[in-house]
Amino acid sequence: MRVTCRINGTARTVDDVWEGESLLYLLRERLGLPGSKNACEQGECGSCTVYLDGTPVCSCLVAAGQAAGREVVTVEGLASDEGLDPVQEAFLEAGAVQCGFCTPGLIVSVHDLLERVPEPSDPQIREALAGNLCRCTGYEKIMDAVRLAARTRR
Q: Which residues bind ligand FES (CB under 6 A)?
A: 38-41, 43-48, 58, 60, 97-102, 134-137
Report the nearest approach of ligand FES to the CB of residue 53 (Å). Answer: 18
Q: Which is nearer to ligand FES, 11 or 77 (CB)?
A: 77
Instruction: Report the alpha-carbon distance of residue 42 to residue 8 in Å, rounded.
Output: 24
Least separation in angstroms between CB 154 and ligand FES: 26
The Cα–Cα gap between 117 and 128 comes to: 10
Write the CB contacts of 146 (distance below 8 Å, at least 6 apart in sequence): 90, 110, 113, 114, 120, 125, 129
What CA–CA distance (Å, rounded) separates 146 from 94?
9
Q: How far is the CB of 111 from ligand FES (least distance, A)?
A: 17
- Give the residue with the Cβ less far from ligand FES, 2 or 67: 67
According to DSSP H, which parts of 49-139 are helical?
75-78, 86-93, 103-116, 122-128
Q: Give 31 or 119: the residue with its C-beta nearer to ligand FES.
A: 31
Is the CB of 110 or the CB of 119 nearer to ligand FES?
Answer: 110
* 3-class secondary-structure state, position 53: coil
Query: Minimum CB separation from ligand FES for residue 104, in Å?
Result: 10
